[in-house]
């Protein structure tokens, strides 16, 4: 798989261009399947500091589904509280409010901050653990050809791309080159800490293997890749997007912001809280406390004289000293200084969304290639990873023959709406943040601090990522909501398969949103688990059966009826599972009864709910109970899901944890009809 | 540091013999200091499966203080419930009780099970991350010389040991050799899974580096080690113990037990719970559910005809099939079988304690070298690790000049009592477990199942490890309790330094026990932490100041008075901290006020409570508040520690988290007097 492969031509299922968060999330998804994948990045090494750093609740849930959220959780700085600072009637800064940074109760995780380089490292480790996929760095795609005649045959390879291996100099990012030149030629003015901060053992390994890889290949070597699919995760200046002829739509604002990652020396009391500081006349600062004593400051730069309206401003006059002085003016009368600066940059806010996310469902765009906006809300990296988290399992299921290719069109339908919402959120948030505080209610040019606080609080749910609500489709069995929904031929066609849910059976589970998580106990060993911990990202669909109280004979009867249908050789589960594969490998059935545990033994339930595997006996890890735990409280899952224990419900969950369907406990027919809308028979 | 060092002589501070859990815990402690350490083990590779597997709450707390409890917590099986099974009036097995496996509320961890090989791997990774110390395997100590004339000078090297590098065959454990021979010469009867189960990437690395090490050295090479200290962690047949002439005192019982680690195929309903099963006449089984679908069965073997009373029984007749058949008889009418066996063994219960734990405080014994007993209570590995957790920081502080050598005598005083308690516990527990259940109250030969249950429940606190209560000494400022306390010259001498605590100021903190843990919030960022998470094992003593409500001017005044004393250049903290070292590097001051946060800013407190470091500003990680968190509940620390928020208290905590002293918030004199009992001035 190395770029020096002597054949100079390779056939792959998926070619990923760009190994930032979006590209790595996709490679990581595909590492869980047997998918021929290559991932290339023109940069010579991964990011070591700076850049994006916020992790939403939802992103942590997703990382946990891949078994490494705990690494981010342990290393990151946790942000608990937002403090709002505004001028008082004398124009002097005061703390006007404290609000929780994450709305209590919406997720088992809270928003944290950790620099992108570490997050990329977690992905690299995870990919390595599960597959032979390796990021090929310093490799640039140079030519693209798309054979339209092959586009309808999903077994064929319509994409042809030439890859060129770059020389060292070509693959080193501009900023690092500048830094190195400074260090050689003159006294460096700032310690920007490249190659130093946060370096840990595995980063060192990474550098070594990158160096070894270079020795084994020749600069400017060319290779042709034939691919079934290509995904452009190659940033705002996406090469893949240019090949497809798609564009980003939107514009730039006049606001210029500086960013400093420093260890602050200050008497400002809330420097370890996330803060929004509006000064009376000197602009705004956002404070983002980070790991390793660092704090990130987003600082509005007052000097607009260097700008030309309508075009990108000249930013060459911006230095860390200028950014710091702006911050000092804003934060006055508090003092602010630093001796250690880890990274700095300046940017002009621009908000743009891609017009199309896919070329005939064979070439896809994700991340910054289809949405760019300001970094302050901490959304960019999260939404980018979530793009490919949405796409990855769909590609894999089409490639491995589980699903019809029709599911691929849901990618653009689902993610373009999110990108549009993101840009709208960012536009509003940036305007409120960049403006001067109103002096009083008559000051119409100023920003109302009450409005700002409300926007912050309301924005918090969006910013958590858990509010994402996918529209009706072949994968989401709910009433079509035409508002905000693009016209899409596939979606209209899919209506013939549309299955109706009964949302009233689980009033607090929203179809189209991710499954909320509460603690339940394993029936066989009483261990508490957050329900989401049972929904690992391994490609499986899940039916979660909530049969209610099993001491109620009617409920037990319905469960047995469902178990007989699901367990019969003619059931859809058998039909979709290739011969020789475990019966839970395509669709897994989980059960959560409402308790009590005592009086019900696991083997009282039909085998479909705890399959027997010849060499290892019964499966003890599929039946759970809504009961109080000894040490970790009481999840009250039935109450929190809005499910009546006398009635119960069944819920179908996508491989990415989004809710597809809610229905009667034993409505085998509707389940069968739902899966029939897009899945492929695997047995004769 | 490699065994092939050409000088053939090496001077070290500490030579550790044996790289099992006790030896690795010690090496891990020393890896946190700058201590010249070597650790050798005669075995050629580490343990891969079988052997000890239970981890107490207290052990997990200790592993967390070294930052790797989460690895054990994630990989292990968690045991939540104990089910007791006894014969009913017809002699038929029934579940008579369910009790929580860990008493709720005693620790933030619960007892879990993970095989010893993984735990050893976590230690190896931790040692590697913090130091250059490496375990030298296949290395045997052969001669020992102790120069009494050097024993009183703690700068000198009284110990001389010759090390011999073994050949491959010599360093391969007996069982593995047998297995290999079986596999070559004949059909192996059982799959014992050596080199297969639980093997993960880092184990593979370990095997490779072991192989590389072998290539770089010559079998039978000899090297002389001159050591200040030597610690024998070399098991029940300890070579170090034999050199010192010390003995184990105790005896063997007639009970023979078989152990099977299998993936069971069974209809027994509680196979994933820890179970104590007493059959009417066929003996007892203890069920320990483990990770990776495994279950460990401890099975009483009925055939006593092969035994000779008073001596070790012949165990050659024992096979996995014989053990399984015994289990099947006991568990009848339930079925039990397996296709996969990971490991098996058989043992005769013996209970012995060492007569002495130390030779002139220069040679020490720890772990199985000074206490052996039955494995069923899951105590052995835990108590062994806790032996060297007790010893490690004391050795380091004497070697690096922080402390007088007098603290070393507390090792035997503290740990011998624990070993005796352990053996008493095990003797009682084994008798109850091995006996036949009483048919009725008149059946005096049988064991009362009510008594068994009570013993189990009472034993649970001991078995958690949190009940350990060290007696009065120079390190524990409490009234001397002569019961259970050995006469010890050093202890008597130390009474001149004895400082009196005021336990009534913190009624729920026990002096001599480990500091209990409740959640508190960081004052500067509102993040919740378990108090114990602030007490990392990095060698520091800690003063935790509980000043109460700081809105009360009297409390703030007392805190300021203490801050002035602690912060002055003449304070004991300065006197014990070497010039050039951070002021919190020897004694760290933490503050937990009783709230509310609002109205108190960090900089309102004297600098002693949040030291300023020139390049990185104020320390934001030392002041905490007892307040409700946004997402993780309310620790109620003051109530749970029994501290009155109008009065407050100060608490001194040892580097191993045990409580040394409780006194008035601002009793600087008593604190100074306490540390004066054993610490050394480091400044002129």
Q: How many residues does chain B have?
A: 684
A376 pLDDT exceeds 60? yes
CATH class of A251-350+422-464: alpha beta
Please say whether the beta carbons of B271 and B79 come within 8 A. no
**Would you kindly state where each structural domain of chain A is located, as residue ranges?**
9-74+113-248+353-407, 251-350+422-464, 489-676
CB contact residues (below 8 A), chain B span 189-218, against chain A: 201
pLDDT at A193: 31
Which H or E element spans position A506?
none
Please say whether the beta carbons of B411 and B391 come within 8 A. yes
Rounded distance between C-alpha atoms, residue A567 and residue B159, angstroms: 70
Of the candidates B7, B41, B1, B465, the one whose C-alpha atom is nearest the C-alpha of residue B231 is B41
Per-residue tokens: A141: 């795609």
Which chain B residue lies closest to A336 (C-alpha atoms)?
B617
Query: Cα dist. A44→A93, A211, A246, B134 in Å?
Result: 45, 10, 27, 34
Kindly list the strands in the beta sheet with A77-78, ordered across the sheet, starting from the edge strand earlier in the chain: A54-55, A112-113, A77-78
pLDDT tens per residue across span B328-367: 999 999 999 999 998 898 887 778 999 999 999 999 999 9
B646 pLDDT exceeds 90? yes
A61: number of Cβ within 10 Å:
24
Rounded mean pLDDT of A653-659?
98
Domain B489-676 belongs in CATH node 3.40.30.20: yes
pLDDT at A204: 46
A437: number of Cβ within 10 Å:
18
* Average pLDDT of every residue of chain A: 87
CATH class of A9-74+113-248+353-407: alpha beta
Q: Residue B30: is it exposed, middle or buried by C-beta count within 10 angstroms (0-12/13-18/19+)? A: buried
B182 pLDDT exceeds 50? no
**At which residue do the structure tokens 């089910």 appear?**
B83
A604 — contact with chain B (CB < 8 Å)?
no
Least Cα separation, residue B662 to chain A (angstroms): 29
B356 — contact with chain A (CB < 8 Å)?
no
Judged by CB atoms closer than 8 Å, whether chains meet at A269 and B601 is answered as yes
pLDDT at B482: 52
Give the ipTM of the model, two decimals please: 0.90
pLDDT tens per residue across span B271-324: 999 999 999 988 899 999 999 999 999 998 855 544 444 455 667 788 999 999
Cβ within 8 Å of residue B251, ≥6 positions away = B350, B351, B352
B599 — contact with chain A (CB < 8 Å)?
no
Judged by CB atoms closer than 8 Å, whether chains meet at B598 and A98 is answered as yes
Judged by CB atoms closer than 8 Å, whether chains meet at A603 and B267 is answered as yes
B525 — contact with chain A (CB < 8 Å)?
yes
Cβ within 8 Å of residue B129, ≥6 positions away = A201
pLDDT at A540: 98
Of the candidates B579, B252, B582, the one whose C-alpha atom is nearest the C-alpha of residue B434 is B252
B124: number of Cβ within 10 Å:
21
More confident position, B236 or A201: B236
- CATH level 2 (architecture), domain B9-78+113-172+199-248+353-405: 3-Layer(bba) Sandwich (3.50)
What CA dihedral angle connects A409, A411, A413 and A416, to 10 degrees? -140
Per-residue tokens: B95: 């579940």
Judged by CB atoms closer than 8 Å, whether chains meet at B104 and A630 is answered as yes
Judged by CB atoms closer than 8 Å, whether chains meet at A104 and B630 is answered as yes
pLDDT tens per residue across span A18-67: 999 999 999 999 999 999 999 999 988 766 555 768 999 999 999 999 99
B201 pLDDT exceeds 50? no
Signed CA dihedral, B170, B173, B176, B182: sign only: positive
φ/ψ (deg, to 5) at A471: -80, 170
**At which residue do the structure tokens 């069944």 appear?**
A650
Q: Which of B526, B528, B615 sits opposite A340 (nearest CB)?
A: B615
Please say whether the beta carbons of B270 and B79 come within 8 A. no
Q: How many residues does chain A have?
A: 684
Q: Which of A101, A265, A525 best tests the B interface by mutation, with the highest count of B CBs <10 A?
A: A525
φ/ψ (deg, to 5) at B635: -70, -25
B109 — contact with chain A (CB < 8 Å)?
no
Rounded mean pLDDT of B450-464?
83
pLDDT band of residue B172 (cuts 50, 70, 90) is low
Per-residue tokens: B212: 């590389």
- Nearest-Å Rg of the Cα atoms of chain A is 26
pLDDT at B185: 32
pLDDT tens per residue across span B239-266: 999 999 999 998 877 678 899 999 999 9
Query: Cα dist. A553→A246, A287, A318, A548, A559 in Å?
Result: 60, 59, 74, 11, 10
More confident position, B452 or B215: B452
Query: Cα dist. B405→A582, B359, B400, B409, B414 in Å?
Result: 63, 14, 11, 8, 16
**Phi-psi group of A268: left, alpha or beta (phi > 0 → left; psi -120 to 50 → alpha; rest → beta):** beta
Q: How far is C-alpha B385 from the geometric centre of its chain's CA atoms?
A: 4
- Nearest-Å Rg of the Cα atoms of chain B is 26
Please say whether the beta carbons of B518 and B627 come within 8 A. no
A104 — contact with chain B (CB < 8 Å)?
yes
pLDDT at B193: 31
Query: Cα dist. B452→B88, B271, B282, B464 in Å?
Result: 16, 20, 18, 18
Point out the residues of A that are catalytic: 53, 290, 298, 375
**Ranges assigned E (strand) in A495-600:** 519-522, 528-530, 541-548, 587-593
Which chain B residue lies closest to A107 (C-alpha atoms)?
B631
pLDDT band of residue B195 (cuts 50, 70, 90) is very low
Q: Is A249 helix (H, G, I), strand (E, B) or coil?
A: strand
**Phi-psi group of B8: left, alpha or beta (phi > 0 → left; psi -120 to 50 → alpha; rest → beta):** left
pLDDT at A435: 76
Q: Which of A70, A289, A616 sits opposite B263 (nearest CB)?
A: A616
A632 — contact with chain B (CB < 8 Å)?
no
What CA dihedral angle connects A605, A609, A613 and A616, to 10 degrees? -70
Which chain B residue lies closest to A631 (C-alpha atoms)?
B104
Point out the residues of B that are catalytic: 53, 290, 298, 375
Q: Residue B667: is it exposed, middle or buried by C-beta count within 10 angstroms (0-12/13-18/19+)? A: buried
Which chain B residue lies closest to A78 (C-alpha atoms)?
B527
Q: Any idea what the Cα angle at residue A76 is, between residues A70 and A80, rounded to 5°?
A: 105
B353: number of Cβ within 10 Å:
20
A182 pLDDT exceeds 50? no
Judged by CB atoms closer than 8 Å, whether chains meet at A601 and B289 is answered as no
pLDDT at A368: 93
Judged by CB atoms closer than 8 Å, whether chains meet at A269 and B602 is answered as yes
Rounded mean pLDDT of A111-134?
95
Rounded mean pLDDT of A425-441?
80
B130 — contact with chain A (CB < 8 Å)?
no
Please say whether the beta carbons of A400 and A35 come within 8 A. yes
CB pairs under 8 A between A and B: 107
């Amino acid at each position: 798989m190395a770029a020096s492969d002597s054949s100079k031509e390779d056939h792959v299922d998926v070619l990923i261009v760009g190994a930032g968060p979006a590209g790595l999330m996709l490679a990581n998804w595909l590492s869980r399947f047997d998918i021929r994948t290559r991932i290339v990045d023109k940069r010579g090494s991964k990011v070591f500091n700076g850049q994006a750093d916020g992790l939403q609740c939802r992103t942590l849930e997703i990382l946990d589904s891949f078994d490494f959220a705990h690494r981010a959780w342990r290393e990151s700085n946790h942000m608990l509280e937002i403090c709002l600072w505004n001028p008082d009637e004398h124009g002097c800064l005061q703390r006007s409010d404290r609000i929780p940074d994450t709305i209590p109760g919406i997720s088992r995780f809270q928003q944290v901050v950790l620099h992108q380089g570490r997050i990329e490292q977690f992905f690299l480790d995870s990919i390595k653990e599960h597959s032979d996929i390796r990021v090929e760095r310093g490799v640039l795609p140079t030519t693209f050809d798309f054979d339209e005649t092959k586009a309808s045959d999903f077994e064929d390879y319509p994409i042809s791309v030439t890859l060129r291996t770059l020389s060292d100099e070509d693959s080193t990012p501009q900023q690092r080159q500048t830094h190195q030149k400074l260090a050689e030629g003159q006294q460096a003015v700032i310690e920007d800490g490249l190659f130093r901060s946060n370096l840990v053992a595995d980063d060192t390994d990474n550098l070594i293997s990158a160096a070894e890889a270079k020795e084994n290949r020749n600069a400017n070597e060319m290779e042709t890749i034939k691919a079934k699919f290509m995904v452009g995760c190659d940033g705002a200046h996406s090469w893949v997007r240019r090949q497809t002829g798609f564009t980003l739509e939107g514009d730039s604002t006049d606001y210029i912001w500086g960013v400093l990652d420093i260890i602050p020396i200050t008497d400002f009391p809330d420097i370890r809280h996330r803060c929004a500081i509006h000064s009376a006349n000197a602009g705004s600062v956002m404070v983002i406390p980070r790991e390793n004593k660092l704090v990130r400051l987003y600082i509005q730069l007052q000097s607009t004289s260097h700008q030309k309206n309508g075009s990108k401003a000249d930013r060459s006059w911006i230095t860390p000293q200028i950014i710091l002085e702006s911050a000092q003016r804003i934060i006055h009368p508090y003092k602010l200084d630093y001796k250690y600066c880890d990274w700095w940059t300046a940017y002009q806010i621009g908000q743009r969304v891609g017009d199309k996310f896919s070329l005939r469902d064979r070439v896809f765009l994700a991340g910054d290639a289809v949405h760019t906006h300001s970094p302050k809300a901490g959304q960019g990296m999260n939404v980018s990873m979530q793009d490919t988290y949405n796409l990855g399992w769909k590609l894999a299921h089409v490639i491995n023959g589980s699903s019809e290719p029709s599911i691929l069109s849901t990618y653009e339908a689902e993610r373009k709406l999110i990108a549009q919402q993101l840009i709208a959120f960012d536009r509003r948030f940036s305007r409120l943040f960049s403006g001067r505080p109103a002096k009083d209610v008559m000051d119409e040019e100023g920003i109302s601090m009450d409005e700002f606080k409300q926007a912050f609080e309301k924005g918090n749910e969006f910013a958590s990522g858990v509010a994402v609500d996918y529209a009706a489709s072949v994968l989401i069995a709910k009433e079509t909501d035409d508002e905000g929904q693009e016209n899409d031929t596939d979606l209209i066609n899919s209506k013939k398969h549309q299955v109706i849910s009964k949302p009233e059976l689980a009033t607090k589970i929203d179809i189209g949103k991710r499954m909320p998580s509460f603690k339940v106990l394993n029936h066989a060993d009483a261990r508490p688990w957050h329900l989401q911990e049972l929904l690992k990202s391994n490609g499986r669909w899940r039916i979660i059966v909530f049969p209610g109280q099993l001491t109620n004979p009617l409920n037990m009867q319905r469960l047995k009826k469902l178990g007989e249908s699901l367990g019969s050789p003619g059931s859809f589960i058998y039909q979709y599972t290739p011969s020789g594969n475990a019966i839970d490998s395509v669709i897994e059935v989980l059960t959560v009864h409402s308790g009590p545990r005592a009086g019900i033994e696991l083997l009282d339930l039909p085998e479909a709910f705890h399959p027997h595997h010849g060499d290892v006996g019964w499966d003890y890890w599929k039946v759970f109970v809504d009961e109080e735990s000894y040490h970790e409280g009481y999840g009250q899952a039935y109450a929190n899901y809005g499910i009546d224990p006398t009635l119960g419900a069944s819920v179908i969950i996508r491989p990415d944890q989004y809710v597809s369907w809610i229905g009667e406990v034993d409505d085998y027919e509707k389940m069968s009809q739902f899966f029939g809308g897009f899945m492929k028979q695997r047995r004769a």
